[in-house]
């Protein structure tokens, strides 16, 4: 094949290790210094990359920050199996695992602190982390409603808020979130939700 016939390169391929290093560095700095004091220069230095390397992957600081937070929650969500109570417990265990990682809850606080100064950070966080989690729970509840497992007219939006909000409320007590918290919360909510 002549050189002119060879496919043109579209630049160097992205280094997956560099991407992971950038996310780890951003997670560390977000937890230690907060969003406002985290700089892309500091992320680049800690990750051992250049700023252009960061910009090839992320649109800017808020994009990187929310990607770093989403990465903490990134393990694959469990597939619903068709029993509402068990599916809700599995979904909340998945949520708990993400919050339980080092700096998990602190990252959420970092985003909320910036609401007034950097609203795009919170908006991106909602799109990448909050809404997917809520949709996952809502799908389980809607499927259960179709199977007639839950009482007619149940306020599914309120149920989602009760399930997720219980973790934040428990964290704020300073007592930590017990391992059996998903089961405890779902069982209490299920008593008011179930048809039986």
pLDDT for 46 equals 97
pLDDT for 111 equals 84
Q: Is pLDDT at 9 greater than 60 in this prediction?
A: no
35 shares its domain with 88: no
pLDDT for 128 equals 84
Cα–Cα dist 35/42, whole Å: 12
Give, in order, the Cα–Cα distances in Å from 120 to each of 40, 41, 62, 108, 191.
17, 20, 7, 14, 39
CATH code, 135? 1.10.357.10
In a domain, 10, yes or no: no
pLDDT tier at 196 (50, 70, 90 boundaries)?
A: low
pLDDT for 143 equals 93
pLDDT for 12 equals 47
Count of the separate structural domains present in the chain: 2
Cα–Cα dist 22/104, whole Å: 17
pLDDT tier at 3 (50, 70, 90 boundaries)?
A: very low
90 shares its domain with 178: yes
In a domain, 5, yes or no: no
Residue 104 CA to its chain's centroid (Å) = 9
Domain boundary among 25, 46, 71: 71
The parent domain of residue 95 ranges over 77-193
* Residue range 59-114, pLDDT digits in tens: 999 999 989 888 876 656 678 888 999 999 999 998 888 787 766 787 788 888 88
66 shares its domain with 95: no
* Residue range 134-186, pLDDT digits in tens: 998 999 999 999 999 999 999 999 999 999 999 999 999 998 899 999 999 99
pLDDT tier at 14 (50, 70, 90 boundaries)?
A: low
């Amino acid at each position: 094949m002549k050189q002119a016939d060879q496919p043109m390169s579209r630049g160097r391929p992205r280094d997956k290790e560099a991407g992971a290093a950038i996310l780890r560095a951003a997670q560390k700095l977000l937890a230690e210094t907060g969003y406002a004091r985290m700089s892309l220069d500091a992320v680049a230095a800690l990750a051992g990359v250049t700023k252009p390397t960061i910009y090839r992957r992320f649109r800017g600081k808020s994009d990187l920050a929310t990607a770093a937070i989403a990465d903490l929650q990134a393990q694959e969500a469990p597939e619903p199996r068709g029993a509402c109570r068990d599916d809700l417990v599995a979904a909340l265990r998945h949520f708990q695992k993400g919050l339980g990682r080092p700096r998990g809850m602190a990252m959420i606080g970092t985003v909320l602190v910036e609401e007034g100064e950097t609203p795009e950070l919170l908006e991106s966080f909602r799109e990448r982390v909050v809404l997917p989690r809520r949709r996952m729970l809502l799908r389980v509840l809607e499927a259960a409603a179709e199977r007639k497992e839950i009482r007619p007219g149940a306020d599914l939006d309120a149920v989602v808020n009760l399930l997720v909000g219980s973790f934040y409320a428990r964290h704020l007590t300073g007592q930590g979130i017990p391992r059996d918290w998903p089961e405890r919360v779902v069982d209490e909510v299920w008593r008011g939700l179930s048809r039986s």
